[in-house]
Copies of this chain bind each other. A is one copy, B any other.
Amino acid sequence: METDERVNQLPELIATGSPAELVPVLSAMAREGRLAGELAELTRGQLHRLADTLGDQEFADLLGEMEPVDAAELLTRLALHDAADVLEAMDPDDAADVVGEFDEYDANRILIEMEPVEAAELRELLSHPPETAGGRMTPAFIAISPDLRADQAVVALRQLSAQAETINYVYVTDDSDQLIGVLSLRGLVLSPPETPVRDAMVSDIVTVPIHADQEEAARILMDHDLLALPVVDDQGRLQGIITSDDVQDIIEQETTEDIERLGGSAPLEEPYLRASPFRLVRKRVGWLLILFLAQAYTGTVLAFYEDTLEAVTALVFFMPLLIGTGGNAGSQVVTTIVRAMAVGDVYFRDIFRIVWKELQTGILLGAAMAIAVFARSLMLGVGVDIGVVVSLTILAIVIWAVTVGAILPLVLRQLRVDPAVVSAPFIATLVDGTGLLIYFTVAGIVLGLN
């Protein structure tokens, strides 16, 4: 209720409110993911009034909290020079993400309107692919000379801090912009004032190459528990930094992609509510058709066993149950293994330990399901011989499913295919066809058919 009241009040609040009243309301909306939607419903006049009341910096901060695509849409509703002012006030890495959403013509129009220095900075950032370290970095770092003293460095920090995205680290570069050391703000504050920066700095620096994948950069930063990670070019020159709040975005984005792949579709690459049905179709239809083709041969298998099916219709009753259970067991394993690989808990070298573990697990699970399906066969009154067939089949299918589910992601990763393509639907499909072969083979032997 409370939230709804605030929504209705937004236009009114814009008409009468001060920044101090507006900012908490807008921030709360941003955190609830509703800001973009609310702002999109404002009239052009209300939006201008809001931008005026907040001022460039507050408005820029607000845009920084939104998805780049939403922020871009909002900017197009402002006058060009107002939009340029807001972009100048944003953190350069966020601003680059927003400008990256425009088409080339609009991007150029707005960059021309900006201050040349800031525009050049954005053009430089936009020249790197968005999912690389270069595409994620911000040039708003602080670099000082190794010849300063600690107290001079603090003074420099005071002067430069307004331009910097973080002052938790101060980077030390030589005349040719080579990164030669780093000083944490903590180290700087705790050093005696007269210490030379050269002596106070740490020279064993963790960096990431500018062309590296953003996920690699995120992992390095997290593994070393850093607040910011310097990005260097091929010559070791400091080009920018990636900060820990970017890492949370990167990890969230990469995890979302993994989960969507595990569910059997291509990653959406934009917020769900923004995606049009056509886009959703495009992301899903590929895998759906591949899986369809992979599953189509179940028809061939069944056509091959047509005589068996006509002779023993009761076998049909258990088909969905048997292959469904196999798919479920395989899906459990695949998701566990893919995730364990993603967080670095298991590697290809562990394959024998994993398969041995899953084999034991599969035998136990298969035995439990065999008892369950035998009981079910008694309930359906199909005869003990069919009961034996389905019990043996489910045992074999579960063991087969967990083994394949464990091996496939590990092998794919070793072949440098993203292991998340082995989705739950993929393994279920694989088990459907092979499971039917197992079923009819077991039935043939036990019932003495053919």
Interface residues of A (CB under 8 A from B): 31-33, 154, 157-158, 161, 167-168, 185-186, 189-190, 222-223, 225, 227, 244-245, 247-248, 251-252, 255-256, 258-260, 262-265, 268, 271-273, 275-278, 280-281, 284-285, 287-289, 291-292, 295-296, 298-300, 302-303, 306, 309-310, 313, 316-321, 323-325, 327-329, 331-340, 343-347, 350, 353-354, 357-358, 360-361, 364-365, 368-369, 372-373, 376, 380, 423-425, 428-429, 432-433, 436
B302:A428 contact, CB within 8 angstroms: no
A299:B321 contact, CB within 8 angstroms: yes
B357:A31 contact, CB within 8 angstroms: no
For A300, the chain B residues whose CB sits under 8 A away are 380
For A247, the chain B residues whose CB sits under 8 A away are 248
Number of copies: 2
A332:B273 contact, CB within 8 angstroms: no
A337–B272 Cα distance when bound, in Å, is 8
For A288, the chain B residues whose CB sits under 8 A away are 325, 328-329, 332, 365, 368-369
Contacting residue for A336 out of B260, B325, B364, B372, CB 8 A: B260
A167–B186 Cα distance when bound, in Å, is 7
B273:A345 contact, CB within 8 angstroms: yes
A373–B296 Cα distance when bound, in Å, is 9
A353–B261 Cα distance when bound, in Å, is 23
- The residue among A289, A316, A325 with the most chain B CB atoms within 10 A of its own CB is A316
A418, chain B: closest CB distance, angstroms: 15
B309:A316 contact, CB within 8 angstroms: yes
A440, chain B: closest CB distance, angstroms: 12
With contacts A33-B345, A296-B376, A313-B310 known, is A336 near B272, CB below 8 A? yes
A223:B295 contact, CB within 8 angstroms: no
A225–B278 Cα distance when bound, in Å, is 35
A292–B324 Cα distance when bound, in Å, is 8
B331:A158 contact, CB within 8 angstroms: no
A288–B337 Cα distance when bound, in Å, is 18
A335:B259 contact, CB within 8 angstroms: yes
A157:B189 contact, CB within 8 angstroms: yes
A4's nearest neighbour on chain B, judged by CB, is B349
A296:B321 contact, CB within 8 angstroms: yes
A340's nearest neighbour on chain B, judged by CB, is B272
For A285, the chain B residues whose CB sits under 8 A away are 364-365, 368
A435, chain B: closest CB distance, angstroms: 9
For A320, the chain B residues whose CB sits under 8 A away are 295, 298-299, 302, 319-320, 323, 432-433, 436
For A333, the chain B residues whose CB sits under 8 A away are 263
B264:A292 contact, CB within 8 angstroms: no
B328:A372 contact, CB within 8 angstroms: no
A313:B309 contact, CB within 8 angstroms: yes
Contacting residue for A365 out of B258, B281, B354, B376, CB 8 A: B281
B190:A331 contact, CB within 8 angstroms: no
With contacts A33-B345, A309-B316 known, is A335 near B154, CB below 8 A? no
For A345, the chain B residues whose CB sits under 8 A away are 33, 271-273
